[in-house]
Amino acid sequence: MLRATRRRIRTTLALFPAALARLDLVDDEKGEEAFDLAVPAMVTGGMRTMLRAADFFMVSLAAGPAAVAGLEMGFQYYFIPFGLALALSSGTISVVSRFKGSGDDAAADFAIKQSLWLALALSVPITVGTWVYAEPMIGVLTSNARTVALGATYLRIVMLSVSFRFWSMIAARALAGSGDTTTPMYVRLLTLPTNVVLNAVLIFGLGPFQAYGVAGAAAGTAIANTLAAAIFFVVLVSGRRDVRLRLGGRQWDTGVANEIVRVGLPLAGTRLSRTFGRFPFLFVLGVLGTEVVAAYAIARRVMLLAMMPAWGYSTAASTLVGQRIGAGEDEVAADYGWQTLRIALATQLVIAVGIFLVARPVALAFGTQHVDLTVAFIRVFGLGVAAFSVSRTMRGGLRGAGDTSWPFYGGLAGTYAVRLPLAALALPVGFVVTAGPLALGPFSLGQLAFAPGMGLGLLAVYAAILGDMYVRALVNTVRFASGQWKAVAHTSAAGAD
C-alpha cells in the first residue's frame, strides 16, 4: 500500500518536468534528473522552514511581539554555527560527488569522516562560548531587557545541540553527493514533526508539562537535532547506502581536509558575512520599531518556505555538476547547471505567485497585530524570489565544481555594498550611530559617530532586501557563464582526472 502510494506520488510529480519538456523549456532527461534530486531536498528544507515558522507562530501566540523579537535575535546567532555547518557540508557534497563521479568510493567515504572531525573542532568551542556570553551577545542588538533575557535563554539552550546539527548536515550532504536525497528526506519526515510536537508541548505547557515559552522552543529544537544526528549516524555506519561512515582505520588526511576547507571557506565567509550583516540590519529595524522587527521575522519565515525549491535545486546542481566533473565530462556538467536553473525558475515562480496572492491570510494566521506591515514584507520578499532562485541554483553548480570564491564575492557585494547602505537611509534624519572606541596597534581612533539616515523608512528597507538578492544572482550567473569553474575543478584535490 505504502509502495503504491509512493509510486503514484512520483508519477504525479513527474508530470511537471514532463510538461516543461513539452514546452521546450528544459531537456527531458536532464530536467527530470534534476527534479528527482531536488524534490526530496525541497521537502526537507520546506519542513525545516515550516518548523521555524511554527516556532514563531507559537511563540507569537504564547508571549507576544517582545518574545518574537527575542527569538529572531537569538536565531541570528544560531545562524553563525549553522552557516559554518552549511559551509562544511558544502565542502562535503562537493568532494563526495566528485570522488563518486570518478569511481573512488573509498575516498568518498573517508571525506565523510574527515568532515566529522572538522565539525567537532568547530562546534564544541561555539557551544561553550555562547553559553557564557549569551546576554551580552543579544544586548548588542537591543536594549529591551525582556527581549535580551528571552533571546539569551533561547540561544543558550539551542546551542547545546550544535555538534549534532553539524553532523546531521554533513551526513545529509554526503548522501546527496552520492545521488541520494531521499534518505535525508525520510529522516526529516520523522524528526521535524517530532520537533513541532515537542515545541508545542513545551511552549504552551500541554499535558503534564509546564509552559516554558521561548525556552520550550529551544529545548524542542535541541532534542530533535540530537535525534536526527543519531539516526543519520546509524544510517551511515550501517553501510546500506552508497556512502558510509567507517569508524576505524585512518582518521586524518591533510589533503582531503584542505580540499573540504578550501571549498567550504568561501561559503562560510558568504554565510557569516550575511549573518553578521543581519545584525546592523536588525538594528535599523529595531530603531523603526519592535513591530517592524516582528513583521520582518514572520514574513521572512513565510518567504523562506516559498524559496525552498531553490535550496533543493541548489543541492541537485551540486550533485549533477560535481559528478559530471568527476567523470571528466565538463560540457555535460555545464548543461546540467543550466537545465537545473531553468526548471528551478519555473518551479519557484509558480510558488512565489501563490504566496504573493495569499499574503494577507498567511499574515492573519500568525495572529500578528500588524497585519498590513507583515503583508508588505511578504510581498517584497516575493518580488525577490526569482533572484533568490537564480543565486542559489548557480551557487550550487559552482559548489559542485569546487569553485566557491565568487559566491562569496557576490555575498559581500550584496550585503555590504547594497543592503546595509540602503538600509541605513531608513534611519531618521539626524539619528546618530556610534562605533568604537577603535584601536589599531598604537593608534586609537576613539569613538566614531555618524548620521547616515535620510528618513526614508520602510521604502529604504524594502530596496535593501531586493537589491541584495539581485546582486548575488547577477554575480553567480556571470561566474557560471564564464566557464572558469571548470579549471578550478581540475586543479583541485578532488578534480577529474
- Kindly give the pairing relationship between strand 443-450 and strand 433-440: antiparallel
**397: which residues sit within 8 A by CB, 6+ positions away?**
317, 318, 321, 336, 337, 340, 341, 480, 485
**Contact criterion met (CB below 8 Å) for 57 and 227:** no
Q: Which three cell numbers stand for residue 465?
A: 532586501
**Contact criterion met (CB below 8 Å) for 336 and 36:** no
Query: What is the reported pLDDT for 469?
Result: 93
**Contact criterion met (CB below 8 Å) for 394 and 479:** yes
Q: What is the dihedral of CA 435, 437, 440, 443, to 10 degrees?
A: 130
Show the 3-state SS of the chain: CHHHHHHHHHHHHCHHHHHHHHCCCCCHHHHHHHHHHHHHHHHHHHHHHHHHHHHHHHHHHHHCHHHHHHHHHHHHHHHHHHHHHHHHHHHHHHHHHHHHHCCCHHHHHHHHHHHHHHHHHHHHHHHHHHHHHHHHHHHCCCCCHHHHHHHHHHHHHHHHHHHHHHHHHHHHHHHHHCCCCHHHHHHHHHHHHHHHHHHHHHHHCCCCCCCCCHHHHHHHHHHHHHHHHHHHHHHHHHCCCCCCCCCCCCCCCHHHHHHHHHHHHHHHHHHHHHHHHHHHHHHHHHHHCHHHHHHHHHHHHHHHHHCHHHHHHHHHHHHHHHHHHHCCCHHHHHHHHHHHHHHHHHHHHHHHHHHHHCHHHHHHHCCCCCHHHHHHHHHHHHHCHHHHHHHHHHHHHHHHCCCCHHHHHHHHHHHHHHHHHHHHCCCCCCCCEEEEEEEECCEEEEEEEECCCCCCCHHHHHHHHHHHHHHHHHHHHHHHHHCCHHHHHHCCCCCCC
Domain boundaries, given as residue ranges, for the chain: 18-433+443-490
> Which residues share a beta bridge with 439?
444
User: What is the residue-averaged pLDDT of the chain?
Assistant: 81
Omega of the bond leading into 437 within 30 degrees of 0 (cis): yes
Tell me the pLDDT tens digit for each residue of 196-218.
Answer: 888 788 888 787 878 777 788 88
Tell me the pLDDT tens digit for each residue of 132-142.
Answer: 888 888 887 77
**Contact criterion met (CB below 8 Å) for 496 and 98:** yes
Query: What is the reported pLDDT for 438?
Result: 45
Query: What is the reported pLDDT for 439?
Result: 43
Which of 301, 390, 300, 398 minimizes the C-alpha distance to 346? 390
Cα 366 → chain centroid = 23
Whole-number Å distance between alpha carbons of 63 and 152: 15
- Evaluate if pTM is beyond 0.95: no
Q: Which residues of the chain have pLDDT under 50?
A: 438-445
